Structure 1
Amino acid sequence: MSYLDRLRTAKYTSPSGSEFAFKFNDLKRSSSKKAAVHELPQQDDPSVQDLGNTAVRFAIEAFFSGENYDQVADSFWDALAEKGPGVLQHPRWGDLSVLPLTYAQSEGFVDGMRQARFEIEFVRVGEIAYPTTIVQTEASIEDSLDTAGEATGEAFGAQFDPESAADTAAAKDTIGDSLAAFSENISGIIAENEKLSEEIKRLTAEIENTLDTLILDPIVMAQSYVHLFRTPGRMATSITKKIDGYGAMLKNLLGYTAPGSKPQA
């Protein structure tokens, strides 16, 4: 059995359920690492923080041919434009939940007549963070919380600059307290989701284990906090618990109490 025998029919199923089998020429997939690279003075080797991988993208050159290629191609174009993710039955890499990011259609009337070519870039999507039937107001609040968390983290990075050994020690205590407060307030969510629990524990431990390096570069530290901030927002969570978690961390870091957060005992 050769690799040709293992190739599957290429097919795209739109969010509405319309199915299109297509021919293809070239297949490509790409991704990269997300990393924070910190280069310390007088050191040749950088400190690199692995923040995961970027989204996997699949580039496909698809085409339709035949007497009625134009009608099929136009329907396929409309399917790509539908809102929400579809399913790509990839010839090589399995059935994928994807969103068509970019797509271009071309037709030739001298060379390559009676066919339409599409250059498409799909991005693989993970779990839907919020049910599609969720109240829009709740989704807006979630987005606002993530934005606020990111902005606060960046502001913290700009302001945080210990000037002495005593300042550094105090800062490390503050950071430790903030991580503990965040973990405590988010514990209700952690208990309900094993995957989320492991991810938050991993990120928290990563900050604690690299604190001596991070404390020398407030911007990199802020990036680490932003990543930790946004982790609960990637899954369906209780807004009240999320507000409490953010509020506790902000209070410890900046002496700021987020509107709507519960006072800590």
Structure 2
Amino acid sequence: MAWKDKMSEASFRGVPFEVESDDGTFGRRTVVHEYPQRDKPFAEDNGRATREISLTAFVVGDDYLDKRDRLLAALETKGPGTLIHPWYGELKVSLKDPARVSHSKQNGGMCTLQLSFVEAGELAFPSAGDSLGSKALAAADNLQGAGSFDFVKKFDVNAKPSSVFDDAVSTFNDGLDLIDNATSNIKSIIDNPIAFLKANAATLIPDAVKMADTVFGLFERGESVVESLAGVFGLGGASSRNGDTIASLTSLSQTFSTRATVPVPSGISPAREQSAVNAAAINHLFSQAMLVQAVGMTTTMDLPIYDDAVKIRDDVTAALDNESLSVSDPVYVALQDARVAVYADVTSRLSQSARLKTITPTSIRPGLVTAYDQFEDVTREAEIVNMNKIQRPGFIPAAPIKVLSA
């Protein structure tokens, strides 16, 4: 097919005309920065440049005046219109400059028009939306407040037999031991040394408010934990370590919830009954501290891996549901609000997460080679090594491993 056969019949808003010649501008918007004492500038790319089309058009024939008037009416119509360009096809354009119309006796029976168009683009304004991450952080704060208030309301060792105090100290220390014996993921984010808290348990126990603040302040803030993990492990590695930490937090929360729901025997003395109430309150306090930390970490971390994000979301929401089974109404509401906020926040970010895929190297090879083969980027070696928990990065096994799909 000859090039003439590929040309379109020119028109604007459906009004036809002929084209003698055209020109256009295309490219990028570039800002050149020049610096003192430097020979080379820096060219900053600010995006694609606006496309401009200029046409030398004409209408001809015995009815050329009628054709001219219809075309002028189309050019004077408000808003963008459809231009059928002989060489570029259909374009949505706006008239950039007023059209220039020329007549001459020498060229009777026709008139010439100089037309200048720009691509119409779109008028788009910023749209308001909820900050789901902020809602989740607020829900974590509300859970901490509701949990603290509920603990202070139930826990009491003052003006009680010494056995009640001793039982509370024992339950508190048992909870600290449970945390201290947990995985390294948990212990790595503890802000207050367990040994110090155990040594000062007798001082904390009589003050329920201070005790609640201490337990909820047991860990570093979620943001600082996420940042430190990202700095050490990189994109995929940090995601994996964050997921492991949240899995440990939610698992420990469920252990404390189970301890808190031990039934109180009937017909026991008031002192033993208060000890049982105190034990349940302490275990719920520890459980809710784990959940506040998990919610805070979830909403502040990046979620680059789809599979990890879904597991994190499911772990946290399941633990929040589990704790909801045996708490007071205000704490139940706070737990469910946190559940809704975490689910909405993580789900809204899933579309930005890359899927995992499984590959099998054909032979044992260094992590650098594997990273280059997959991504043409050797800096992603740490991502592969940490995601698959490979002990010797220089020897990636010839076995199935997980990598990001992008």
Q: TM-score, normalised by structure 2?
A: 0.30
Per chain length, whose mean CA-contact separation is higher, i.e. which structure has more relative contact order (CA < 8 Å, sep 6+)? 1
> TM-score, normalised on structure 1?
0.45
